[in-house]
Chains A and B, each alone.
Chain A
């Protein structure tokens, strides 16, 4: 191996590739250093912090969840899986779970569809003022959830809320958005949709721009119209990006907290509404742990259940993705067979 190839190998973005090479240089003799301790020193801060605030906390959460533990009383007694058993029997926990998933669906689905359409429109080299549109769409994403929740809370207010005012001006009865279960979910989901649609648009736009133009040219020669090009080329090739965005959204929305908390500003705001109609899992965890009666053990059990749910939800998304993969493989096989048949006929 000569020097130039070595340099080329150095520049490959994936670090693991290089290690498999035969001409693997001696350890501690990279282009940049001779001190063998230097790399360990440089990466140590991350691992130290993670050891204290990452590994420890997750393990400790599990340990706490096995105890009857409160902030005031301290660790009381080992109760095994009692907290988990109680949790499964807790109607409020189940209500919070249903609410969380309902808001999750109401926010993820429309958000992804809107983002795909906007990305498709933005992907036009002849578009004037692309920067203006992109930054306009990204502005909501840099705003804090607290500020967003405050503004939307006022927009959806029963009295003097702008949305109800519009409904009234159109001649309909104003809605009590906070009171209904579905209506409060829609209001909270709209905060999430508003905040993340632009961000996902930019993610999808980046992915669309990575699709080779030749695919579109080939499709155009075959007479595919714009809509067909979007559904048959753009969307299938965007699947990894969509998967990435959906998983991020699912994991993020399962931890929905600030929006329902602030949506119920005023008395009893941690209950998620008079009837817990918009109580979410994390809000329930917070209200159990950091308010009377400060049940740490119980909320630690909620935390671990939430971790499990996130993992399951992510697995479900990946499973659906794999299903699509298989369907695509099948249709490709069929397509090949059809082509082969057509060739036979032509002969």
Chain B
């Protein structure tokens, strides 16, 4: 409707006469249109962000009200006073603290290990010359296409053979270095470590390990941080393989398995389940608030590099 109404005042001004207003007309028109457009822009974006954030708000609403309150119609849409109570129930309902600790151990070990091995391999692929380098790197990229979930059954049989079923290392060891990590660090090293620096370090009699430690690592730290964040995130959120291999040993459950148990066992008590869920996403929320810039840059860079 407004688009139709808009031109009228401009046309009337134009008929009124002077060349100045004639020139002013279109630009004013454009300015008004751009104001309207930016208003629409911000509305759409704000709506999208609200939709993104709403489930978290809802998590808190359910988790902070008693189950009885949430069962009324229409449901309460503002937070209530029962969060502590619900959280306590959730923590007592499943081995919650144990699961948080397990998840932290798993994710932290995987992250440190991925960073270490990927930096070494990425450095080798970016800066060293050796027979078969091109082919081997292509091979690394090719392995990214192999869907990992599908090795589920043999991996489980293999872990049984090792005697690792139910042990945290069954989750940690297969993830200690990833193709994506090697690829990412190769790009980071190639883009941030100047050859002159490597040559200079070499002249000064630095060993190859010294070079990695004193020259490569300090220059790649920002790029490595992004990889570290995402590696931790994926390890923390991983569900299927931990469920399969740790499922039979409740004391080694990760937080995701504990959540699933919580939701499966107490599904009638939404408030309690939601309190547990909220507690499980809290560490990641804190990390995201602290590192959102790196993570956004990482997602966007990842797209360009891919």
Contact at A306–B150, with CB atoms within 8 Å? yes
Q: A135-B288, A147-B277 are known contacts. Are A27 and B130 too (CB-CB below 8 A)?
A: yes
Does A87 interact with chain B (Cβ within 8 Å)?
no
Determine which of A133, A147, A154 lies in contact with B45 in the assembled complex, contact meaning CB atoms within 8 Å: A133
Could you give, for residues 124-146 of chain B, a 1 whenever the CB lies within 8 Å of some chain A CB and a 0 otherwise? Answer: 11111111011011001001001
Task: Find the B residue at minimum CB distance from A149.
Answer: B263
Contact A138 B55 (CB under 8 A): no
* A11 adjacent to chain B (CB < 8 Å): yes
Assess the B274–A310 pair: CB atoms within 8 A: no
A251 and B149 alpha carbons, distance in the complex (Å): 11
Which among A28, A43, A126, A144 is the interface contact of B281 at CB below 8 angstroms? A144
Contact across chains for B129 and A266 when beta carbons are under 8 A apart: no
Tally of A-B residue pairs with Cβ under 8 A? 305
The reply to whether B73 and A168 form a contact with Cβ atoms under 8 Å apart is: yes
Say yes or no: A198 contacts B52, CB within 8 Å: yes
Q: Mark A47-66, 1 if CB is under 8 A from B, else 0.
A: 10110111011101100100
Q: Which of B155, B256, B300 contacts A202 (CB 8 A)?
A: B300
Q: In the complex the two chains form, is B49's CB within 8 Å of A155's CB?
A: no
Minimum CB distance partner of A305 in chain B:
B150
Q: Is the interface of B mostly helix, strand, loop or mixed?
A: helix
| Contacting residue for B239 out of A54, A146, A154, CB 8 A | A146
- Chain B residues 256 to 280 lying within 8 A of chain A, measured CB to CB, are 256, 259-260, 263-264, 267, 270, 273-274, 277, 280
Could you tell me if B301 and A139 are in contact, using CB atoms closer than 8 angstroms? no
Binding site for B on A (CB under 8 A): 7, 10-11, 13, 15-16, 19, 25, 27-36, 38-40, 42-43, 45-47, 49-50, 52-54, 56-58, 60-61, 64, 114, 117-118, 121-122, 124, 126-127, 131-148, 150-155, 157, 159-160, 162, 165, 168-169, 194, 197-199, 202-203, 205-207, 210, 226, 241, 244, 251, 255, 257-258, 261-262, 265-266, 269, 282, 285-286, 289-290, 296, 299-300, 303-304, 306-307, 310
Q: Give me the interface of B with A, judged by CB distance under 8 Å.
A: 37-38, 41, 44-45, 48-49, 51-53, 55-56, 58-59, 62, 70-71, 73-75, 77, 117, 120-121, 123-131, 133-134, 136-137, 140, 143, 146-158, 173-174, 176-177, 179, 182, 186-187, 190-191, 195-196, 198-199, 202, 208, 211, 233, 236-237, 239-240, 244, 247, 256, 259-260, 263-264, 267, 270, 273-274, 277, 280-281, 284-285, 288, 292-293, 295-296, 299-304, 306
